[in-house]
Amino acid sequence: MTDNISNKNFDKVAFGITALGGNVHERITKKAAELADMHYGNMIEGVEWPDLPSNNPEKARYPILTYFDLKKPNTITNKSHHGEFQIWHSMAPDDGTGKVYSNREVKDKIINQAVEWYEQAQNSGNNFHLGKVLHMVQDSYSHSHVVRDENDKVKSFQSYNEQDGREHGTADKPQIKTVIENNGMERQVPEDWQQIPGTLQALEASTAILKLYKSGASSKDLADYLREKVYPFENEQTKDLPAGGSDPKYQKRIAENTETPMSETSPANVQFTSFGQMGASHVASLKMAEHIPEQYHSHLQDLVNQRIVEHNLTVGLLEKTYTHESPTLSA
């Protein structure tokens, strides 16, 4: 069967996922693990974590709670998108002091963070931390995060605070094509995730990092790889140029002398756009939260906390039943 396909954007986007799209960070990571002959395991949780980061493991399990921290200054969640932890997305940090970092300083911060997470993974055997490394590296190939030349060498690390959230997300969305079925009905399907600009380079780098990890390579080996292969500068002058700013395609818009808001009251347009990080169930929860008036947030948190208790009791019962007492399902 030959399909007639028309190229057009499908604008129903929530947190970097089109209505018919998928979680591209997950797909890159799973494919890289396959190519490296590794089991991805909880790397998936790690690769999602930088978009809704929390040091509270219960909140990490229920991202609707972490969502409420996005607008709270000095929370780890807010800093990940607007503050000093923008490096987790390979972007220029804003530490609140007004300091403008050079490209070299941003690169050093990114590599130092990758080394720290890589060593945590090696020392603990917990690949969750390795997933965080992969997220940061994968984001570096998104066109709204890092400006690269035709040879993929770094020209500048961009700043999320200089960008329009909706425009930022356009770099990471799969295009939606309309397929005409034999019966004449139209069906909208996303293009393959590997057609999103930068994903193939992100896949290659992710695979290389997993192979290093699997081989027992040191964190110095990782740092050397990142410095030379993932974040090489376009030229010597690039190093000392100020980081930040934005490619014009993603800049905040000016209309009638009024700056388009960064969607701080409409977070679905702005957060979590890098390669479509959020899973579908997380998207649904966060879209729901977006429309809940603030006066109900406390009550909602109480309800979710109760759900956490119920969940933990259920898990505990299942573990007791099936891992310790079941005659057919041994631990």
Please report the pLDDT score of residue 306 as a whole number: 56
Q: What are phi and psi of 88, to 5 degrees?
A: -65, -15
Pairing of strands 5-8, 13-14: unpaired
Q: What is the pLDDT of residue 268?
A: 32
pLDDT in tens, the chain (331 residues): 333 323 332 222 222 333 334 588 999 999 999 999 999 989 999 998 998 888 776 666 666 667 778 778 889 989 998 999 999 999 999 999 999 999 999 999 999 999 999 999 999 999 999 999 999 999 999 999 999 999 999 999 999 999 988 888 778 777 777 878 888 888 777 677 788 889 999 999 999 999 999 999 999 999 999 999 999 999 999 999 999 999 999 998 754 334 433 333 333 333 333 443 333 344 444 444 555 556 555 656 565 555 555 555 554 544 444 444 433 333 3
User: Could you give the CA distance from residue 277 to residue 80 in angstroms, rounded to a whole number?
Assistant: 14
Structure tokens at 84: 């000093």
pTM equals 0.71
pLDDT of residue 59: 64
Please give the torsion angle defined by the CA atoms of residues 40, 46, 51 and 53, in that order, rounded to the nearest 10 degrees: 160
The pLDDT of residue 206: 98
